[in-house]
Amino acid sequence: MPAMPSVSLPSSLRGLLARRPPVCLPATLPVCLPAIVARAEADAPVALVWGLLSDPARWPDFDPMLAAAEGPPAAPGTTWRLQGAGVPGRAVPWLRRIAVEIERAEAEHELVLRARPFPGMHEVIAVRLLPLPRQRTDIELSAHLHGPLAPSWWPVARVAGELVAGGLARAATAEAETATAETAAAAGETAGVPGTSEPDADADAAAHR
Protein backbone atom coordinates (compact mmCIF):
# COMPACT_ATOMS: atom_id res chain seq x y z
CA MET A 1 0.00 0.00 0.00
CA PRO A 2 1.56 3.33 -1.03
CA ALA A 3 2.37 5.80 1.71
CA MET A 4 0.01 8.73 2.19
CA PRO A 5 1.43 12.02 0.89
CA SER A 6 2.62 14.45 3.53
CA VAL A 7 1.18 17.93 3.82
CA SER A 8 3.29 20.85 4.98
CA LEU A 9 1.35 23.13 7.31
CA PRO A 10 2.10 26.86 7.68
CA SER A 11 3.91 27.69 10.90
CA SER A 12 0.98 29.78 12.18
CA LEU A 13 -1.39 26.87 11.65
CA ARG A 14 1.01 24.42 13.33
CA GLY A 15 1.02 26.68 16.39
CA LEU A 16 -2.79 26.79 16.45
CA LEU A 17 -3.01 23.02 16.17
CA ALA A 18 -0.64 22.70 19.09
CA ARG A 19 -2.92 24.87 21.26
CA ARG A 20 -6.29 23.38 20.31
CA PRO A 21 -7.34 19.71 20.30
CA PRO A 22 -7.94 18.77 16.65
CA VAL A 23 -11.05 17.26 15.17
CA CYS A 24 -9.63 14.37 13.17
CA LEU A 25 -10.81 13.58 9.68
CA PRO A 26 -11.30 10.07 8.25
CA ALA A 27 -8.18 7.91 8.12
CA THR A 28 -8.13 8.07 4.32
CA LEU A 29 -7.21 11.75 4.44
CA PRO A 30 -3.70 12.98 5.21
CA VAL A 31 -4.66 15.97 7.34
CA CYS A 32 -6.20 16.55 10.75
CA LEU A 33 -7.52 20.07 11.40
CA PRO A 34 -9.38 21.69 14.29
CA ALA A 35 -12.99 22.65 13.80
CA ILE A 36 -13.69 26.28 13.01
CA VAL A 37 -16.13 27.79 15.51
CA ALA A 38 -17.60 31.30 15.43
CA ARG A 39 -20.29 32.72 17.69
CA ALA A 40 -22.43 35.85 17.81
CA GLU A 41 -25.58 37.09 19.51
CA ALA A 42 -28.51 38.71 17.74
CA ASP A 43 -30.97 41.10 19.36
CA ALA A 44 -33.72 39.27 17.52
CA PRO A 45 -36.03 36.30 18.17
CA VAL A 46 -34.93 32.91 16.90
CA ALA A 47 -37.78 32.75 14.38
CA LEU A 48 -36.52 35.89 12.67
CA VAL A 49 -32.91 34.61 12.59
CA TRP A 50 -34.06 31.31 11.13
CA GLY A 51 -36.04 33.15 8.47
CA LEU A 52 -32.81 34.73 7.23
CA LEU A 53 -30.70 31.59 7.60
CA SER A 54 -33.08 29.22 5.82
CA ASP A 55 -33.68 31.46 2.78
CA PRO A 56 -30.77 31.29 0.30
CA ALA A 57 -31.79 34.57 -1.32
CA ARG A 58 -31.07 36.34 2.00
CA TRP A 59 -27.54 34.94 2.45
CA PRO A 60 -25.81 37.73 0.49
CA ASP A 61 -27.36 40.15 3.01
CA PHE A 62 -25.07 38.78 5.75
CA ASP A 63 -22.28 36.92 3.91
CA PRO A 64 -19.90 39.40 2.23
CA MET A 65 -18.28 36.57 0.25
CA LEU A 66 -21.50 35.98 -1.72
CA ALA A 67 -22.83 38.02 -4.59
CA ALA A 68 -26.03 36.00 -5.05
CA ALA A 69 -27.70 32.77 -3.99
CA GLU A 70 -30.71 30.84 -5.19
CA GLY A 71 -32.64 27.73 -4.28
CA PRO A 72 -35.70 26.56 -2.35
CA PRO A 73 -36.17 27.09 1.38
CA ALA A 74 -33.83 24.91 3.40
CA ALA A 75 -34.89 21.26 3.53
CA PRO A 76 -32.83 18.04 3.66
CA GLY A 77 -31.72 16.92 0.20
CA THR A 78 -32.25 20.27 -1.51
CA THR A 79 -29.45 22.16 -3.28
CA TRP A 80 -28.56 25.83 -3.27
CA ARG A 81 -26.47 27.61 -5.92
CA LEU A 82 -24.17 30.26 -4.53
CA GLN A 83 -22.48 32.95 -6.62
CA GLY A 84 -19.23 33.83 -4.90
CA ALA A 85 -18.00 37.38 -4.62
CA GLY A 86 -14.52 36.15 -3.67
CA VAL A 87 -12.44 36.77 -0.59
CA PRO A 88 -11.70 40.39 0.37
CA GLY A 89 -8.25 41.20 -0.94
CA ARG A 90 -7.82 37.93 -2.84
CA ALA A 91 -8.85 36.70 -6.26
CA VAL A 92 -10.63 33.35 -5.92
CA PRO A 93 -11.91 32.37 -9.38
CA TRP A 94 -13.02 28.88 -8.29
CA LEU A 95 -15.58 30.41 -5.93
CA ARG A 96 -17.59 31.95 -8.71
CA ARG A 97 -20.26 29.21 -8.57
CA ILE A 98 -20.81 26.68 -5.77
CA ALA A 99 -23.42 23.97 -5.25
CA VAL A 100 -24.37 23.54 -1.61
CA GLU A 101 -26.32 20.52 -0.40
CA ILE A 102 -28.61 20.82 2.61
CA GLU A 103 -27.93 17.85 4.87
CA ARG A 104 -30.13 18.84 7.80
CA ALA A 105 -32.64 21.60 8.43
CA GLU A 106 -34.34 21.68 11.82
CA ALA A 107 -36.51 24.77 11.92
CA GLU A 108 -35.33 27.47 14.34
CA HIS A 109 -32.56 25.20 15.61
CA GLU A 110 -29.95 23.90 13.14
CA LEU A 111 -28.90 24.06 9.50
CA VAL A 112 -26.15 21.78 8.14
CA LEU A 113 -24.63 22.39 4.70
CA ARG A 114 -22.08 20.49 2.64
CA ALA A 115 -20.07 22.26 -0.07
CA ARG A 116 -17.12 21.56 -2.34
CA PRO A 117 -15.75 25.01 -3.23
CA PHE A 118 -12.94 23.57 -5.36
CA PRO A 119 -11.27 20.22 -6.14
CA GLY A 120 -9.27 18.87 -3.26
CA MET A 121 -11.45 20.17 -0.45
CA HIS A 122 -14.97 19.99 0.87
CA GLU A 123 -16.48 21.42 4.00
CA VAL A 124 -19.39 20.73 6.31
CA ILE A 125 -20.92 23.82 7.91
CA ALA A 126 -23.40 23.72 10.78
CA VAL A 127 -25.24 26.76 12.11
CA ARG A 128 -27.05 26.27 15.42
CA LEU A 129 -29.49 28.72 16.99
CA LEU A 130 -30.27 28.92 20.69
CA PRO A 131 -33.03 31.21 21.98
CA LEU A 132 -31.95 33.50 24.79
CA PRO A 133 -33.94 35.64 27.25
CA ARG A 134 -35.38 38.98 26.09
CA GLN A 135 -35.93 37.85 22.51
CA ARG A 136 -32.24 37.30 21.75
CA THR A 137 -30.58 34.46 19.85
CA ASP A 138 -27.19 32.81 20.22
CA ILE A 139 -25.65 31.87 16.86
CA GLU A 140 -22.95 29.21 16.67
CA LEU A 141 -21.30 28.37 13.36
CA SER A 142 -18.95 25.40 13.11
CA ALA A 143 -17.09 24.20 10.02
CA HIS A 144 -15.05 21.07 9.32
CA LEU A 145 -12.69 21.14 6.35
CA HIS A 146 -11.74 17.90 4.59
CA GLY A 147 -9.20 17.15 1.87
CA PRO A 148 -5.53 17.60 1.03
CA LEU A 149 -5.96 21.31 0.30
CA ALA A 150 -7.84 22.01 3.54
CA PRO A 151 -4.77 23.31 5.45
CA SER A 152 -4.14 26.10 2.96
CA TRP A 153 -7.79 27.15 3.04
CA TRP A 154 -8.32 26.86 6.80
CA PRO A 155 -7.26 30.45 7.71
CA VAL A 156 -9.61 31.89 5.07
CA ALA A 157 -12.46 29.64 6.20
CA ARG A 158 -11.97 30.79 9.79
CA VAL A 159 -12.37 34.43 8.76
CA ALA A 160 -15.36 33.52 6.60
CA GLY A 161 -17.03 31.80 9.55
CA GLU A 162 -16.64 34.86 11.73
CA LEU A 163 -18.00 37.08 8.95
CA VAL A 164 -21.07 34.89 8.43
CA ALA A 165 -21.93 34.50 12.14
CA GLY A 166 -21.44 38.20 12.84
CA GLY A 167 -23.20 39.26 9.67
CA LEU A 168 -26.21 37.07 10.44
CA ALA A 169 -26.45 38.55 13.93
CA ARG A 170 -26.28 42.12 12.61
CA ALA A 171 -28.79 41.50 9.81
CA ALA A 172 -31.28 39.87 12.18
CA THR A 173 -30.84 42.64 14.74
CA ALA A 174 -31.43 45.31 12.10
CA GLU A 175 -34.61 43.57 10.91
CA ALA A 176 -35.89 43.23 14.47
CA GLU A 177 -35.25 46.93 15.15
CA THR A 178 -37.03 47.87 11.92
CA ALA A 179 -40.02 45.72 12.81
CA THR A 180 -40.18 47.24 16.30
CA ALA A 181 -40.01 50.77 14.90
CA GLU A 182 -42.73 50.04 12.33
CA THR A 183 -44.98 48.54 15.01
CA ALA A 184 -44.48 51.56 17.26
CA ALA A 185 -45.15 53.95 14.38
CA ALA A 186 -48.32 52.09 13.44
CA ALA A 187 -49.51 52.16 17.05
CA GLY A 188 -48.83 55.89 17.23
CA GLU A 189 -50.73 56.55 14.03
CA THR A 190 -53.68 54.52 15.27
CA ALA A 191 -53.74 56.39 18.56
CA GLY A 192 -53.75 59.71 16.75
CA VAL A 193 -56.52 58.93 14.25
CA PRO A 194 -59.77 60.79 15.09
CA GLY A 195 -62.69 58.51 15.79
CA THR A 196 -60.66 55.50 16.97
CA SER A 197 -60.45 55.75 20.76
CA GLU A 198 -61.76 59.20 21.71
CA PRO A 199 -65.47 58.53 20.97
CA ASP A 200 -65.50 55.62 23.38
CA ALA A 201 -64.03 57.83 26.10
CA ASP A 202 -66.61 60.56 25.33
CA ALA A 203 -69.43 58.03 25.45
CA ASP A 204 -68.31 56.72 28.80
CA ALA A 205 -68.09 60.24 30.19
CA ALA A 206 -71.56 61.08 28.91
CA ALA A 207 -73.01 57.92 30.43
CA HIS A 208 -71.79 58.92 33.86
CA ARG A 209 -73.16 62.46 33.79
For residue 183, what pLDDT is reported?
86
Specify the 3-state DSSP secondary structure of 59.
helix
Tell me what pLDDT residue 33 has. 80
Residue 161 phi, psi (nearest 5) = -60, -45
Q: What is the pLDDT of residue 5?
A: 42
Could you tell me which residues come within 8 angstroms of residue 55 by beta carbon, excluding any fewer than 6 positions away?
73, 74
pLDDT of residue 189: 72
pTM of the model: 0.73
Stretches where the chain sits below pLDDT 70 are 1-32, 86-96, 190-209
Beta bridge partners of 98: 82
Class of domain 33-182: alpha beta
Confidence at residue 92, expressed as pLDDT on a 0 to 100 scale: 53
b/e per residue, 165-195, with b = 16+ CB within 10 A? bbbbbbbbbebbeeeeeeeeeeeeeeeeeee
pLDDT of residue 11: 53
CA pair distance 143, 154, nearest whole angstrom: 10
